[in-house]
Amino acid sequence: MQLHIFHGTETGTAEILSQDIQAELGATHTCIVKSLDEVGPSDLSTENLNVIVCSTYGSGDLPYSATAFYEGLQRDKPDLSGVEFAIFGLGDSTFHDTFAQGSEKLMGALIDCGAKMQGERATFDSSSSGLPEDICFPWLSAVLGIKPNQAAPALSNSAASKLRGFLS
């Protein structure tokens, strides 16, 4: 199974996390990683899951690299009824009213165009003590339906342990 991973970032966290997903799941999934500023809505896969990792900037806005993609969705309203996606948001809870709203806006625009979301949107708070992958890897494994004993060989020991805790 392929994963098409797209990141929207301003200072690189979402890009690094996307590459970390590729490294973590690469043994079981062929992962293609691209920036949202390299693609348009027609580049979303209709045969494989699209995984979107996106931060928030300004006041609840999309990061610069995701802006044209988002505006294209809003302007052109492409038919994405054959597209399935999962979305992970990065934000900072010190921005109380706009926490992770970039990914929330992108999720809404994709759904408005008919794309089907797999799982729930998950978020990482950069004011928390953990790392984005502590939340992202277990979330994505659950979205993909990987059971802990299946995921373990492809995951690092620490990630496999976290996943078992998340799913139990």
Ligand X SMILES: Cc1cc2nc3c(=O)[nH]c(=O)nc-3n(C[C@H](O)[C@H](O)[C@H](O)COP(=O)(O)O)c2cc1C
Residues at the contact surface with ligand X, assessed by CB under 6 A: 9-14, 55-60, 63, 90-92, 95, 98-101, 126
Residue among 24 and 125 whose Cβ is closer to ligand X: 125
Instruction: Using the minimum distance from each CB to ligand X, give the nearer residue, 10 or 24.
Output: 10
**Shortest reach from residue 135's CB to ligand X, in Å:** 12
* Residues 102, 72 contacting (CB under 8 angstroms): no
Cα separation of 100 and 125, whole Å?
A: 8
* Number of residues written out for the chain: 168
Q: Which two tokens stand for residue 48?
A: 């494989």
Q: E-strand spans in 19-81?
A: 30-35, 49-54
**How many of the other CB atoms lie within 10 Å of CB of 15?**
20
Residue nearest to ligand X (CB): 91
Closer residue to ligand X (CB): 94 or 168: 94
Residue type present at position 168: S
The least distance separating ligand X from the CB of residue 81, rounded to whole angstroms, comes to: 29
Minimum CB distance to ligand X, residue 137 (Å): 16
The string of DSSP letters for 84-109 reads EEEEEEEE-TTSGGGTTHHHHHHHHH
Nearer to ligand X, 50 or 56 (CB): 56
- Output the smallest distance, CB 50 to ligand X, in A: 18
